[in-house]
Amino acid sequence: MEGKSLFYLLRQLWGYLSIRRQRQFYMFFVLMLVSALLEVVSLGAVLPFLGVLTSPERVFEHPIVKVCASFLNITGASQLILPITVLFISAVLIAGAVRTLLLWVTTRLTFVSGADLSIEVYRKTLYQPYKVHVARNSSEVISGITIKVSGVVEVLKQLLTLMSGVVLIISILFALLAVDVTTALSAIFGFGIFYGMVSLFVRNHLKKNSIAIAEEQTKVFKVLQEGLGGIRDVLLDGTQAFYCDVYRRADTILRRALGNNIFIGGSPRFVMETIGMVLIGGLAYWLSSQEGGVASALPILGALAFGAQRMLPALQQSYAAWASIAGNQEALVDTINLLKQPIAEELLNDVMETLAFEKSIQLRDVSFRYGDNYPMVLERLNLEIRKGSRVGFVGGTGSGKSTLLDLFMGLLTPVSGEISIDGRKLDEKSMRAWQRNIAHVPQHIYLTDATIAENIAFGIPFEAIDMNRVAEAASQAQIASHVESMPRGYLEVVGEHGVRLSGGQRQRIGIARALYKRARVLVFDEATSALDNATEQAVIESIDLLSSELTILIIAHRLSTVRHCDKIVELSSGKVVAEGRYDSLLEQSSSFRKLVGGQPSLSNND
């Protein structure tokens, strides 16, 4: 949406607000008009108030005042002072109360709208295909969901402030025109020209700062993730200075741009206050020289001064709001782009049924690449996996092992060929039902800083966890005895990333998590590669003890891991070069013998 106007962006944003929020914004507009009307009433009350203090007889002679006085049984001019004072104070208090309410509504409405938008961005991001997640940088998404949505909240807040300020200014100007046309027109012309010139001068600066803020926020998140995420290597390699320098450069540019925007938004205030006081002083001198002197001029002068006192802050507030909106325009662009992410209808349906899997998974002439300009990762691959079999996948770097399993799991879609289950072709409509059969155990198990039970029943609210099922899964994964020996058992907290557990224990919790799903297909993607030989052997034994009804697919880091598989598939350059049992492959495949003899530990960088 590069080059789109601010009005276009705001119209796009309006479309992503819920009907309920849109109605609340309409109610806000009504409240804004009521507030402006009350400001005019409080301003209009200044004239009779000051008039009755300086010359009550003249006020008493006014036809409207006479009618009101008769209704209130007021017979003398001196009796006007109290009711008009009460009227003036009441008008000011009511106007102030409504302004306070307007501020509360503005703040409340913008922040709940921001929460809605942030949730929607997160939802649409989570529902994106795996291919999209692989292609993007997570720091860009996290920055968008948090900081940039906050920028949009600021845009909404300042937009409401700008609108209420403009309505208030117009209302006050009409009231001032009724008091003194010449002075009101002079104020409109003078103040308008000044703010217009300032706005034209700073517009490009605000745009540059907006771009810098959007870019550097992402860089700051990126360096934080990289530095803290790889803290072991940072400490071992002594690269703290490098990450601090990258962070310093990004953060300095970010904060300088933020500071510049704050200065641009606030600086005209002091000039305008000075000009306003000079104008009031000159007006006071001019009015005092007219017929009637200061006494007759005082009510008009007071009304104009009161109007200026209300209008100048509104002018500055409106200008600052415009500057803030312009300064956050790029955050608005990025957020709308995230809101525009499409979601496949099939993903929104809560699929409860599981696709039947009784015989085999077949791949026919399957090819895949990550983009039109990228080489083929898998090419015209044909393979069949029988239900209940244990299948190992081996091959060197870039052979396509992990990509092949991602296709099995429906995370990626072939560019040509087809995958079928019991003869039924997998498509977008059946993919979610197929994925309900699958549980995945990756090389690095992600553990939350929560209890063992919550990590096994991952993604399920604590109150909905079936503890009997948790214990059963842990027992099958050969970790139940260790967990139950802990002081709090399954309620023991594992720490961030499972820091209180050993590598083998984390992997077994990963297996237990897969088993809790009661999936029919278990996929182990380098699941034991980070373990020592003894721990890996124990985990492999746990896998071997699992039900024979389970279909297990394993990418091997060590060939000993797949030694007892029913079938081993050897991949090279995206093609199946050999398949069979371990012993038969040793006899038939020279490339497999080379792997066994020269590479006891395979690389896992597909």
Tell me the C-alpha to C-alpha distance, in Å, between residue 468 and each of 447, 457, 473, 516. Answer: 21, 11, 9, 10
Q: Between residues 65 and 502, which one has the greater pLDDT? A: 502
Place of tokens 């500057």: 323
What's the CA gap between 520 and 386, in Å, rounded? 12
Parallel, antiparallel, or unpaired for β 416-421 and 390-394?
unpaired
Place of tokens 């349906």: 349
Is 326 a residue whose pLDDT tops 70?
yes
pLDDT of residue 335: 87
* CA torsion through residues 235, 237, 241, 246, sign: negative
Give the list of residues 6+ apart from residue 356 with CB closer than 8 angstroms, or none. 421, 422
pLDDT per residue as tens digits for the range 341-397? 888 776 666 656 788 888 899 999 999 988 888 888 998 999 999 998 999 998 887
Is 51 a residue whose pLDDT tops 70?
no
Give the residue-averaged pLDDT of 424-448.
Answer: 85
Q: Which of 85-99, 129-143, 283-297, 419-433 has the highest mean pLDDT?
A: 419-433
pLDDT of residue 94: 86
Q: Which of 356-360, 415-419, 575-579, 600-604 has the highest mean pLDDT?
A: 415-419
pLDDT of residue 428: 81
Nearest to 210 by CA among 335, 53, 308, 359: 335
Total count of residues recorded for the chain: 606
Tell me the C-alpha to C-alpha distance, in Å, between residue 69 and each of 37, 63, 82, 501. Answer: 25, 10, 12, 86
pLDDT of residue 126: 84
Q: Are 551 and 530 in contact, with CB atoms under 8 Å apart?
A: no
What's the CA gap between 407 and 423, in Å, rounded? 17
Q: Are 580 and 418 in contact, with CB atoms under 8 Å apart?
A: no
pLDDT of residue 368: 92
Q: Are 580 and 405 in contact, with CB atoms under 8 Å apart?
A: no
What's the CA gap between 386 and 536, in Å, rounded? 26
pLDDT per residue as tens digits for the range 84-117? 777 778 888 888 888 889 888 888 898 899 889 8
In CATH terms, is domain 6-339 a member of 3.10.580.10?
Answer: no
pLDDT per residue as tens digits for the range 226-267? 787 677 667 766 788 888 888 888 888 888 888 887 777 776
What's the CA gap between 465 and 468, in Å, rounded? 9
Is 303 a residue whose pLDDT tops 80?
no
Q: Which of 45-54, 291-300, 476-485 has the highest mean pLDDT?
A: 476-485
Backbone angles phi, psi at 532, to 5 degrees: -75, 170
CA dihedral 451, 457, 462, 464 (to 10 degrees): -160
Q: Which of 178-182, 492-496, 520-524, 527-531 has the highest mean pLDDT?
A: 520-524
Is 282 a residue whose pLDDT tops 80?
no
Give the residue-averaged pLDDT of 296-306.
Answer: 57
What's the CA gap between 55 and 48, in Å, rounded? 10
pLDDT of residue 365: 93
In the chain, the percentage of residues whose pLDDT exceeds 90 is 8
What are the helix (H) ranges across 45-148?
46-54, 56-60, 63-71, 81-126, 130-135, 138-143
pLDDT per residue as tens digits for the range 528-548? 666 667 767 777 777 777 777
Is 301 a residue whose pLDDT tops 90?
no
Q: What is the mean pLDDT of the chain?
A: 79
Q: Between residues 35 and 544, which one has the greater pLDDT? A: 35
Give the residue-averaged pLDDT of 140-165.
Answer: 82
Give the list of residues 6+ apart from residue 57 with CB closer than 8 angstroms, or none. 77
Give the residue-averaged pLDDT of 109-130.
Answer: 87
What's the CA gap between 30 and 485, in Å, rounded? 65
Rounded to a whole number of angstroms, the distance between the first and last alpha carbons of the chain is 35
pLDDT of residue 47: 61
| Packing angle, helices 149-179 and 329-339, rounded to 10 | 130
Tell me the C-alpha to C-alpha distance, in Å, between residue 443 and each of 116, 241, 302, 508. Answer: 35, 30, 77, 12
Q: Are 128 and 344 in contact, with CB atoms under 8 Å apart?
A: no
Q: What is the pTM of this model?
A: 0.71
Neighbours of 454 (CB within 10 A): 21
pLDDT band at 606 (very low <50, low <70, confident <90, very high): very low
Q: Are 452 and 389 in contact, with CB atoms under 8 Å apart?
A: no
Backbone angles phi, psi at 441, to 5 degrees: -120, 105
Is 120 a residue whose pLDDT tops 80?
yes
pLDDT of residue 283: 62
- Cα within 13 Å of Cα(270), Cβ side: 4
| Packing angle, helices 503-516 and 533-544, rounded to 10 | 20
- Please give the structure tokens belonging to residue 230: 């790889």
Question: Three-state DSSP class for 494?
Answer: coil
